[in-house]
Amino acid sequence: MPQLFLNERSCESTAGPDRVNRAMTELVKAVVAVAREDGAGTVLVAREPVTALQLAVGHPIGKWIGLPTSRDLWRRLLLLQAKWPHRAVFPEGETYSDVEYRHDGVPVEGLGAAHLTGGLGVSLAVEPHWHADRLALVREELLDDEDGGSEVRDVEIRHAATPEHVESHRHWLRSGTDTARQEALGALRSGAELWERRAELFPLLQFLPLARQNFAELPEVWVRPVGERLGELQDAVSAWDPVRQPIAPQWRSDVRTEFESRRRLCWFPDLDGEHRLFDWHCEFLPKPGRMHFRLVHEERTLRIAYVGRKRGV
């Protein structure tokens, strides 16, 4: 999964408080937008802990956190994985001390780390040159030869400072997520393993505790197909706006509600103990595999109650 690297240079401006706070709000919205695509794999990497960030000269992050409009975004940011300093995500034993990256002649450690690891740079767009979905950097690497020279070349990185920038990277983010998920599913051999990794592979979906036994009883031949259907549901939910789509998300495979005559088989005790109708369903091969769930509009997700053989047959 791609990692997000905070551009420390964008946090060193002398911009006014209002401008800095607006830029921080847009930045966090961008990070949250990435998390919706990348799920549990999203990691924000910075030079220092997020709680200790200076957003500008004389402007600690606490000034932004204290705004009423920032509280929900701050909670979301805290839910993401965070690492610091940048070398914390480098391969073991590697420091990249022989490589330097510059933007407009100024060293940019965070953006350089994004290029080294194939990640995404993120910035506060308090200055026009940070308001872009891609940034050009100059990379200089010391050569291990007798002359002791260096190699200098131009490189480009993916970058975001607003949710609109994230939109331009959506296909790249989704492709990386899909590839990693498919590789993970291919290594699973039991429904119990799939259940244990559900939060990692399908972070936007919810599961009733009683479904755990269903997963434990899945034959191996159903493990990969169930995982693929869950992945399609995850992708559908990630793009769902219940306001614009009040009935259901745009499904990525054949999903429908149960016939009236079979709905008696679709009632399950929900998380609060109340019996509710879980009549949305999808199928998986080999037949008669079926998965039942219900939409939870207020939480922009769906909750899975049953996975296994078609009920009543």
**Which amino acid is it at 103?**
H
Digit-coded pLDDT (tens) for 170-183: 878 877 767 778 88
End-to-end CA distance of the chain: 41
Does the pLDDT at position 302 exceed 90? yes
Q: Residue 110 in contact with residue 86, Cβ under 8 Å?
A: yes
Q: Which residue has tokens 């614009």?
A: 244
Residue 221: C-alpha distances to residues 89, 225, 282 (Å): 37, 8, 17
Q: How far apart are CA 198 and CA 155, in angstroms?
A: 37
Q: Residue 112 in contact with residue 99, Cβ under 8 Å?
A: yes
Tokens for 215, please give them. Answer: 């997963």
Digit-coded pLDDT (tens) for 103-150: 999 999 999 999 888 889 999 999 999 999 999 999 898 876 556 688
Q: What is the pLDDT of residue 37?
A: 80
Listed in sequence order, the residues at least 6 apart from 187 whose beta carbon sits closer than 8 Å to its beta carbon are none
Lowest mean pLDDT among 49-58, 72-81, 190-199, 265-274: 72-81
Residue 102: C-alpha distances to residues 170, 254, 293 (Å): 26, 49, 51
Listed in sequence order, the residues at least 6 apart from 124 whose beta carbon sits closer than 8 Å to its beta carbon are 7, 10, 11, 13, 20, 23, 24, 27, 55, 56, 130, 161
- The CB-side HSE value for 12 (13 A sphere, CA atoms) comes to 8
Distance of CA 165 to the CA centre of its chain: 15
Rounded to an integer, the average pLDDT of 161-172 is 91
DSSP 283-294: EETTTTEEEEEE
**Which amino acid is it at 288?**
P
Q: What is the pLDDT of residue 211?
A: 98
Closest Cα partner for 33 from 115, 116, 120, 143? 120
10 Å CB burial of residue 22 (0-12, 13-18, 19+) is middle
Q: How far apart are CA 17 and CA 28, in angstroms?
A: 16
Tokens for 138, please give them. Answer: 């100059």
Distance of CA 196 to the CA centre of its chain: 19
Digit-coded pLDDT (tens) for 69-79: 999 999 989 98
Tokens for 239, please give them. Answer: 């793009």
Q: Where is mean pLDDT largest: 53-57, 152-156, 166-170?
A: 53-57
